[in-house]
Amino acid sequence: MQELISVFKALSDETRLKMLKVFQKGEICVCDLVSVLDTSQPRISFHLNVLKEAGLIKDRKQGKWVHYSIDDSDMFRRFLVLSAMEKIPDGAMTEDFSRLKKVLTVKNKSRCG
């Protein structure tokens, strides 16, 4: 039961829902997520950890960077995330997506990743 609760808890926070929205666009590293959500690094790390403990995301370490992405190994979580995401209008993400776009194009001219 605690496992189930941890999943719902992870989903009951605006920052974390926004993170999942960003993850839907693809894998992203912590430093980019900090830029995109325009907040502090420890705060991002804290929320990433909550999502990870709930089994909603996974990480991939590569050199200095840690890339996070949606963990789609579990059907129930997968469905929960999808249906939650569907409920959040893209309008709630305008600023963030615009920063994401910026970050990604800079990326193409190489940096991490």
Partner DNA sequence: TTAACATATAAACATTTTTTGATTTGATTG
Partner DNA sequence: CAATCAAATCAAAAAATGTTTATATGTTAA
Tell me which residues touch DNA (CB under 7 A): 9, 12-13, 15, 29-32, 34, 39-43, 45-50, 59, 63-67, 112
Backbone CA torsion sign across 58, 60, 64, 65: negative
Which of 82, 75, 96 has the alpha carbon at shortest distance from 22?
A: 96
Backbone CA torsion sign across 97, 101, 106, 107: positive
Pick the closer one to DNA by CB: 64 or 75: 64
**Which token pair is 1?**
């039961």
C-alpha 30/C-alpha 76 separation (Å) is 26
Residue 64 binding result from DNA, a second copy, none, given CB thresholds of 5 to 8 Å by partner type: DNA
Task: Assess 83 for contact with a second copy (CB under 8 A).
Answer: yes
Using CB under 8 A, pick the residue from 61, 64, 87, 109 that binds a second copy: 87
Binding-site ranges for a second copy (CB under 8 A): 1-2, 4-6, 8-9, 11-14, 17, 76, 79-80, 83-84, 87-88, 92
